[in-house]
């Protein structure tokens, strides 16, 4: 039944603009799971990870993400994360597939993320640091359109959100 509801939601979401959520499904990333660090980052208290609230290329201004998110190849995303300093913190990296999947919001699509925590997230694929075991030319992505995951060619240009271990 839940699968049927989600499929119905997806069909209607394709016709509508903006995020669509089903209140009958319990949220998977409620605001209470996050601590706002008041610097453009949040800490997921369930797993001890600190997330950039904006995608790479966007800027945190006046409690929202502004500007256009960058689309990078997998290698560009990994290189961009290396040595990245944000909010006076270092140790930023591209999340693995399980980490990135942990911030998808199961009750919503377009985007499938808590937009109060991660505003203006593109409803598209985001890189993970997890390479595909079966094909060295591909890596895992999480689709913030509907919380799905798949493997994509590393040369494609995809969005990126960085994470670090919280102190």
pLDDT score for 97 = 98
146-158: average pLDDT? 97
pLDDT per residue over 47-90, tens digit each?
A: 999 999 999 999 999 999 999 999 999 999 999 999 999 999 99
State the pLDDT confidence band at 167, using cuts at 50, 70 and 90: confident
The total number of structural domains in the chain stands at 1
**Range of the structural domain that residue 138 is part of:** 2-165
- The answer to whether residue 19 scores a pLDDT higher than 80 is yes
Mean pLDDT of the chain: 91
pLDDT score for 3 = 44
- The answer to whether residue 143 scores a pLDDT higher than 60 is yes
- The answer to whether residue 13 scores a pLDDT higher than 70 is no
Between the alpha carbon of residue 125 and those of residues 37, 46, 54, 58, 102, the distances in Å are: 26, 24, 14, 16, 15
- The answer to whether residue 108 scores a pLDDT higher than 50 is yes
pLDDT per residue over 21-48, tens digit each?
A: 998 999 999 999 999 999 999 999 999 9
pLDDT score for 17 = 63
* Per-residue buried b or exposed e for 8-40, using 16+ beta carbons within 10 Å of the residue's own CB: ebeeebeeeeebbbbeeeeebbeeebbeeeeeb
Which CATH number characterizes residue 159's domain? 3.10.100
């Amino acid at each position: 039944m839940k699968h049927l509801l989600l499929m119905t939601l997806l069909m209607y979401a394709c016709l509508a603009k903006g995020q669509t959520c089903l209140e009958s499904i319990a949220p998977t990333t409620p605001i209470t799971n996050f601590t706002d660090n008041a610097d453009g980052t949040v800490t997921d208290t369930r797993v001890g990870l600190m997330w950039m609230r904006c995608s790479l290329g966007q800027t945190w201004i006046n409690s929202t993400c502004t500007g256009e998110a960058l689309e990078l190849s997998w290698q560009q995303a990994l290189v961009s994360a290396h040595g990245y300093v944000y909010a006076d913190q270092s140790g930023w990296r591209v999340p693995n597939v399980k980490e990135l999947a942990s911030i998808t919001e199961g009750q919503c699509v377009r985007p499938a993320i808590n937009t109060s925590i991660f505003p203006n997230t593109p409803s598209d694929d985001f890189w993970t640091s997890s390479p595909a075991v079966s094909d060295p030319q591909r890596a895992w992505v999480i689709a913030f359109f509907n919380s799905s995951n798949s493997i994509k060619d590393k040369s494609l240009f995809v969005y990126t959100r960085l994470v670090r271990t919280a102190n």
